[in-house]
Amino acid sequence: AQSVTQPDIHITVSEGASLELRCNYSYGATPYLFWYVQSPGQGLQLLLKYFSGDTLVQGIKGFEAEFKRSQSSFNLRKPSVHWSDAAEYFCAVAWMDSSYKLIFGSGTRLLVRP
């Protein structure tokens, strides 16, 4: 069965520290991978996506993510977190062999300490 796991419900980091949010997926077919951010009271905004090619992708707001097929992972990273990055982050996956269905992880809420 297709599933997406974000193992961390909450993460707290200090402003200026580095950040890594984890995302794992199950299912063997070629995945299409996305990270979205949801600020309080807002809809979802696409941070970055991976379809093919270079497995390290750059996104908006200084975020990047790396696709590791061997680990079925697509972790989101940022070298230096800003207070405005506090939000909820969702990993989402679609699979090439199925009709388009974007399956979301349960989300990770990022808190930033001043």
Residues forming contacts to another protein in the complex (CB under 8 A) are 4, 6, 9, 32, 36, 41-46, 49, 51, 90, 92, 94, 96, 99-102, 104-107
Q: Which residues are CB-contacts of 40 (< 8 A; sequence separation ≥ 6)?
A: 87
Tokens describing residue 97: 């062999």
Nearer to another protein, 15 or 75 (CB): 75
Nearer to another protein, 15 or 27 (CB): 27
CA-wise closest residue to 62 among 84, 41, 42: 84
Tokens describing residue 100: 């388009």
Minimum gap (Å) between residue 15 Cβ and another protein = 26
Nearer to another protein, 15 or 32 (CB): 32
